[in-house]
């Protein structure tokens, strides 16, 4: 609840938002004392640390969450976002590839992966992901526009 409030409450000041993150972290850490392999507590704690830009701690708990439940695409996505924020593009690509393998029908995952491939100077791989995203969601005009920007023929 505190984590959701910290992320979504528009009336919170920066100090209040940080206090909510702190409270969420305290409760999540307490949960892990009782059950260290509790997947959701590990994932949410990682996410809270990422929201606070405490990336070393975020990476530690994302790694634990992935060890406990490697087939959760949401964890892979959130970890990829955190890694991308840090400028760790190759590591972010690795996590988005995992997310796409776990949820191949998710056009948003493919779009984010394509964008990371472009940052990594891999337009060929980006093109493949946008083509797949366009097949999944043919009415999403941005995918066609991105393909055109790479010089791909769009039908």
- For the stretch 72-93, pLDDT in tens is 999 999 999 999 999 999 999 9
The yes-or-no verdict on residue 47 having pLDDT over 70 is yes
Please give the Cα distance from 64 to 68 (Å, whole number). Answer: 6
Q: Angle 80-39-7 (CA atoms, 0-180°, nearest 5)?
A: 55
| pLDDT classification of 6: cutoffs 50, 70, 90 | confident
47: tokens are 């996410």
Domains of the chain: 1-70 (1.25.40.10)
* Reported pTM: 0.88
The share of the chain scoring above pLDDT 90, in percent, equals 79
Cα distances (Å, whole numbers) of residue 103 to 40, 85, 97, 133: 19, 22, 10, 12
If residue 99 lies in a helix (H) or strand (E), which one and from where to where?
Answer: helix 89-102
141: tokens are 């005009």
Burial class for 40, CB neighbours closer than 10 Å (0-12, 13-18, 19+): middle
The yes-or-no verdict on residue 32 having pLDDT over 90 is yes
Please give the Cα distance from 46 to 48 (Å, whole number). Answer: 5
Task: List pLDDT tens digits, range 97-116.
Answer: 999 999 999 999 999 999 99
Average model confidence (pLDDT) across the chain? 94
């Amino acid at each position: 609840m505190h984590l959701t409030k910290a992320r979504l409450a528009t009336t919170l000041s920066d100090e209040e938002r940080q206090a909510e993150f702190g409270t969420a972290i305290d409760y999540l850490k307490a949960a892990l004392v009782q059950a260290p392999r509790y997947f959701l507590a590990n994932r949410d704690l990682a996410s809270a640390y990422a929201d606070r830009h405490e990336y070393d701690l975020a990476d530690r708990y994302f790694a634990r969450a992935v060890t406990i439940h490697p087939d959760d695409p949401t964890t892979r996505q959130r970890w990829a976002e955190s890694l991308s924020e840090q400028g760790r593009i190759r590591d972010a690509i690795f996590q988005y590839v995992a997310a796409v393998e776990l949820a191949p029908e998710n056009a948003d995952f493919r779009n984010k992966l394509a964008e990371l491939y472009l940052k990594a100077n891999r337009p060929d791989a980006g093109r493949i992901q946008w083509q797949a995203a366009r097949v999944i969601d043919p009415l999403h005009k941005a995918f066609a526009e991105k393909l055109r920007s790479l010089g791909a023929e769009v039908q």
